[in-house]
């Protein structure tokens, strides 16, 4: 498939680029791991002191949720985030023309290009936490089936995160030069590090129906903990819906785009 060929070329190019700046790669890997560890430290301190979390979620379940959120975030950061960060600038300068004139889906082309490989160290740590939590989950399901469901749910979580990022970025078609929109959605997703129901009714409704970050980790983790195939199917369907909505927003945004030559 074309998308995998583009992805393969993007990874190859990024590795060649990163190998030119090896010290930078090592430093970035340390920083990436540091951020992951810091977040882990924070959720442990908050989780063990805030009653709306520890009364509803066990430590194992809570760490599984955190890990799933970070894996979804890691996938988006590795493949899309750096490219999407540059999107507002491309819209401002008219550089989006180079993407629009190519014979492929413009949204996907705008999202791919540079692949980060410094996220690998953090990803190993997150995977370790998730697998460790999964081993101690005791939901009565064989480990291999749990792993299979986990992979599917993490892919869904990253698609939701990616779609939300694209949806927010479409505002840059109107708010010209708003390069920090990616940062804004990144901050909002920090809510997903914690069980959404711990924030109370208002935020549960907000993060389920308006900005659906509950579908990144909270609902997927819940469906795995209670092993509910029905919930998993609903999550997959909602993921498709959110992705399609981001497509729609992207094309609405494109209509407001005035290229450099027009």
Partner 1 sequence: MKKYIQTYKLSIQKALTYRSIEVIWIISAFITPLVFMVLWSRNTGQSLLEFSKSEIISYYFILTFISQLVSPHIDWNVADDINNGSLSFYLIKPYTYFIQLFVQELGWKTVSMIFLVLPLMLFSLLFRNSLVIPSMSIIKLLSVISLCMVSYILIFLVQYFMGMLAFWVTQIRSFFRIFYMSSDLFAGKFFPLVLMPSVLKFVGRYLPFQYFWYFPTMVILGKQNLIGLKTSLIIMFSWIFVLIVLIRLIWNKGIKSYSSYGG
Supply the Cα-derived Rg of the chain in whole angstroms.
19
Closest separation between CB of residue 122 and partner 1, Å?
12
Q: With binding defined as CB under 8 A, does residue 199 bind partner 1?
A: yes
Instruction: Collect all residues with Cβ–Cβ distance below 8 Å to 61 and sequence separation of at least 6.
Output: 133, 137, 221, 225
User: Measured in Å, how far apart are the chain's first and last C-alpha atoms?
Assistant: 34
Distance CA 8, CA 25 (A): 20
**Which tokens hold the place of 65?**
């949720």
Stretch that binds partner 1, among 19-27, 107-115, 211-219, 226-234 (CB under 8 A): 19-27
Please tell me what DSSP assigns to residue 198: G
* Contact flags string 90-129 toward partner 1, x per CB under 8 A: ----------------------------x-----------
Report how far apart, in Å, the C-alpha atoms of 244 and of each of 12, 78, 241, 248, 249 are.
29, 22, 5, 6, 9
Is residue 250 a contact partner of residue 100, using CB atoms and an 8 Å limit? no
Burial class (CB in 10 A: 0-12, 13-18, 19+), 179: middle
Residues 42-61 that bind partner 1 (CB under 8 A): 42, 45-46, 49-53
Closest separation between CB of residue 166 and partner 1, Å?
17
Residues 129-148 that bind partner 1 (CB under 8 A): none
Q: With binding defined as CB under 8 A, does residue 233 bind partner 1?
A: no
Q: Kindly tell me which of 139 and 180 has the beta carbon lying closer to partner 1.
A: 180
Residue the block writes with tokens 């935020």: 203
Q: Kindly tell me which of 76 and 109 has the beta carbon lying closer to partner 1.
A: 76
Q: With binding defined as CB under 8 A, does residue 31 bind partner 1?
A: yes
Residues 154-193 that bind partner 1 (CB under 8 A): 175, 177-181, 183-184, 187-188, 190-191, 193
Applying CB under 8 A, what is the total number of residues that bind partner 1? 39
Residues that bind partner 1 (CB under 8 A): 21, 24-25, 27-28, 30-32, 34-35, 38, 41-42, 45-46, 49-53, 118, 175, 177-181, 183-184, 187-188, 190-191, 193-194, 198-200, 203
């Amino acid at each position: 498939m074309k998308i995998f060929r583009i992805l393969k070329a993007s990874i190859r190019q990024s590795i060649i680029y990163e190998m030119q700046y090896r010290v930078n790669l090592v430093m970035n890997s340390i920083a990436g791991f540091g951020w992951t560890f810091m977040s882990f430290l924070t959720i442990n301190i908050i989780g063990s002191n805030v009653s709306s979390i520890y009364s509803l979620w066990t430590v194992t379940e809570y760490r599984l949720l955190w890990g799933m959120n970070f894996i979804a975030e890691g996938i988006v950061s590795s493949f899309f985030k750096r490219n999407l960060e540059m999107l507002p600038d491309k819209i401002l300068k008219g550089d989006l023309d180079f993407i629009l004139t190519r014979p492929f889906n413009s949204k996907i082309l705008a999202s791919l290009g540079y692949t980060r490989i410094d996220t690998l160290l953090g990803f190993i740590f997150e995977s370790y936490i998730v697998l460790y939590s999964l081993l101690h989950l005791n939901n009565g399901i064989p480990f291999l089936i749990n792993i299979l469901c986990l992979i599917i749910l993490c892919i869904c979580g990253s698609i939701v995160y990616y779609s939300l990022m694209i949806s927010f970025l479409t505002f840059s078609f109107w708010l010209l030069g708003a390069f920090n929109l990616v940062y804004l959605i990144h901050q909002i997703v920090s809510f997903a590090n914690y069980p959404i129901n711990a924030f109370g009714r208002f935020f549960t409704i907000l993060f389920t129906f308006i900005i659906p970050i509950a579908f990144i980790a909270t609902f997927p983790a819940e469906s795995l903990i209670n092993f509910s195939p029905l919930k998993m199917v609903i999550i997959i369907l909602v993921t498709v819906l959110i992705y399609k909505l981001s497509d729609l927003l992207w094309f609405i945004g494109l209509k407001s785009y005035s290229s450099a030559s027009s």
